[in-house]
Structure 1
Amino acid sequence: MWIVFALSAALAAATVVTLSKAGVKHVDSSLAFAIQSVLILVVSWSVVITQGHLPDVMRIERRVWIYLVVAGVLTCLSSLLSFRALKLGNASQVSPLTNFSLVFSIILASVFLKEKLSWQVIAGAVLMAVGAVTIAMARG
C-alpha cells in the first residue's frame, strides 16, 4: 500500500509544481509560498483533528519535537528556495533538480539512519542523478 501513497504523493507534487509555476508568474515567490502555507496549515490540522489525534500532541517527546521543528524549518526553507527557482526557471527544468533530493535522501538515510544500500539502490540513484541533470540542462 505504501507504493500507492508514494506514487499519489509524486503525482500531487508534480501538480503542485505546475500550479505553483503558474501562480508565481505575477506574484512574489515568497508571497505565493506564504499563501500556500496557510492552506497547508489549515488542511493538516483539520486532518489531525478529524482523525482524533490532537491529544497526541501532549505526548510527543522532547527529542521528537526537536526533530520535527528542525524538519519544519528545513521544509519552509526548501519550499522558499523551490518557489524562487520556479519564479526564475522553467518548471520542467526546476523540478528534476529539486527532486535530486532523492539522491540526497539515500545518502543521508545511509549515513544517519544506517539504512543498507544495495547495488540496485546505488545504480538507481546514479541514473536518477544523471537524468535530473540531463533534463535540467536541456534546451527547451
Structure 2
Amino acid sequence: MESATSHSWFFWAALSAVFAALTAIFAKVGIQGVDSDLATLVRTVIIVFVLTAFVWGAGKWSNPLQLPGKTWVFLTLSALATGASWVCYFRALQIGEASQVAPVDKFSLVLVAVFAFVFLGERPSGTGWLGIALVAAGVVVLALRR
C-alpha cells in the first residue's frame, strides 16, 4: 500500500501550475510600460527575499557553502537556465498575448520528457508518450491559432 505522501508530488505540481498561471497574468499586467528585462530583475530580487525569509522561517537554513561541488555546478546551470527562461518569457509576454505565450512556454513539458529520456534514463509508458504528444500538438494548435 502506498503512503499518503507518495502522491504529494501531484499536490505540489498542481500548486505549481496554479502559481505559474497566476505568474503569467500578474506579469502581463505588471510589465505594461516597463522594460521586460528590468521587470524580470525586480521579480527576481523579490523572489530572493521571499525565499530567504521562507527558508529561514521554516528553520531550513544551513550554510550553502558546505554543499557539494556537483550540487553547486548543477544548481548554477539550473539558475542560468531559469534566468534565460524568465528573460525570454517576460519578453514574449510583453509583445504577445498571455493566452498564447504561456502554452508555448509549456512546450517545456515535452522537452523535459525528451531530456529526461535521453539524459536521466526515464522511460514514460505508452500512455505517457501519448500525453506528451498531445501536449505538443496542443502547443502547435495554440501557437498557430491566428
Partner of 1:32: 39
Once residues 123 and 133 of structure 2 are traced to their aligned partners in structure 1, the CA distance between those partners, rounded to angstroms, is 16
Partner of 1:92: 99
Partner of 1:59: 66
1:56 Cα deviation from its structure 2 partner: 4.6
Question: Does structure 2 conserve the Cα–Cα contact (< 8 Å) formed by 1:96 and 1:133?
Answer: no
1:24 Cα deviation from its structure 2 partner: 1.5
Write out per-residue CA displacement over residues 86-130 of structure 1, whole angstroms, 9 at most, x where no aligned residue: 011110010111000000000111111111121111110110010
Q: TM-score, normalised by structure 1?
A: 0.95
Larger deviation: 43-52 or 120-129?
A: 43-52
The alignment partner of 2:121 has SS state of coil
1:52 Cα deviation from its structure 2 partner: 2.1
Write out per-residue CA displacement over residues 56-83 of structure 1, whole angstroms, 9 at most, x where no aligned residue: 5243100110000110011000000000
Once residues 58 and 103 of structure 2 are traced to their aligned partners in structure 1, the CA distance between those partners, rounded to angstroms, is 34
Partner of 1:114: 121
1:135 Cα deviation from its structure 2 partner: 1.2
**Corresponding pairs, count:** 139
Question: Does structure 2 conserve the Cα–Cα contact (< 8 Å) formed by 1:93 and 1:137?
Answer: no
Q: Percent of aligned pairs with the same residue?
A: 35
Structure 2: state its 5+ residue gaps. 1-7
Partner of 2:23: 16
Q: How do 1:119-130 residues align onto structure 2 when only pairs under 5 Å count?
A: 119-130=126-137
The alignment partner of 2:71 has SS state of helix
Once residues 58 and 31 of structure 1 are traced to their aligned partners in structure 2, the CA distance between those partners, rounded to angstroms, is 29
Q: After TM superposition, where is structure 1 displaced by more than 6 Å over at least 4 residues in a row?
A: none
Once residues 113 and 56 of structure 1 are traced to their aligned partners in structure 2, the CA distance between those partners, rounded to angstroms, is 29
Write out per-residue CA displacement over residues 15-73 of structure 1, whole angstroms, 9 at most, x where no aligned residue: 11011011112111011111111110001111111122222524310011000011001
Once residues 48 and 109 of structure 1 are traced to their aligned partners in structure 2, the CA distance between those partners, rounded to angstroms, is 28
Structure 1: state its 5+ residue gaps. none
Once residues 132 and 49 of structure 1 are traced to their aligned partners in structure 2, the CA distance between those partners, rounded to angstroms, is 39
The alignment partner of 1:54 has SS state of coil
Q: Please, which of 44, 54, 78 is the counterpart of residue 71 of structure 1? A: 78
What is the Cα-based RMSD across aligned positions, in Å?
Answer: 1.1
Once residues 63 and 83 of structure 2 are traced to their aligned partners in structure 1, the CA distance between those partners, rounded to angstroms, is 24
